[in-house]
Amino acid sequence: METKRLNKAISETGYCSRRGADKLIEEGKVKVNGKIPELGTKVTANDVISVNGTIVTKEVENIYLAFNKPVGITCTTERQIEGNIIDYINYPERIFPIGRLDKPSEGLIFMTNDGDIVNKILRSKNSHQKEYVVTVSRRLTDDFIRKMGNGIPILDTVTDKCKVTRINDTTFNIVLTQGLNRQIRRMCDYLGYQVQTLKRVRIMNISLKNIKVGEYRSFTSKELNEIQTSISDSSKTEDAS
């Protein structure tokens, strides 16, 4: 039977990162089959792993959902935060979001129970596309479109070049391969524009088409196969971007 390091097994449940798991193990908060393990312990699918007395390994099929997040919902698994995405969806199995979409924004976000796919998709250097439709506070200019596409200095770096297309006088489409914190809002702010609405309409090969606000659907087999193929060469370092 396949074995894997205990910290990896814990991270794949979505409970925490591998480094977070190492810390829990060092603090004696993790048990394997009722016993406190050492760092570097390897486990199999038959082992029962618990953290602070709660079993985190439950054998369920992998879940992959495309969710159309409404404005006002927070992408966190912390249930004490009002308006958290977990309580809103109220899915019968434990799931968590892949990445984030800030509270004032809406649109597509993936939900899963597969920690391994989370780490691979979130690697910024893997250049997975995310597409947004953005409405701003005033009339767009050719200079704005050009500068947004060529890169904006924010967060001690310059954003990667990206495709920006004008939709109408105040709305544009942008395709990013980065995941900087509040990236589009910061880019617009730099150029003197305020974001009025921001909607993510596509991640990789999956779009919002036919998903109403506040609803979700499962990935199709074709969609999942395409994603698995596109991330097959993704690096497996400890930290997601």
**E-strand spans in the chain?**
4-5, 30-32, 42-43, 49-51, 54-55, 64-69, 96-98, 106-112, 130-136, 153-154, 157-158, 163-166, 171-176, 195-203, 206-207, 216-218
Beta bridge partners of 31: 50
Question: How many whole angstroms separate alpha carbon 129 and alpha carbon 236?
Answer: 19
Question: How many whole angstroms separate alpha carbon 36 and alpha carbon 186?
Answer: 46
Active site annotation includes 102:
yes
The helix/strand/coil state of 23 is: helix
* Residue 134 CB coordination number (10 Å): 25
Given the residues 22, 47, 87, 102, select the one marked as catalytic. Answer: 102
By the 8 A CB rule, do 72 and 164 touch? no
- Which contiguous run of DSSP H or E holds residue 93? none
CB burial of residue 205 (10 Å; 0-12, 13-18, 19+): middle
Give the tokens for residue 184. Answer: 């589009």
- Tell me phi and psi for residue 42, to 5 degrees: -110, 145
Catalytic residues: 102
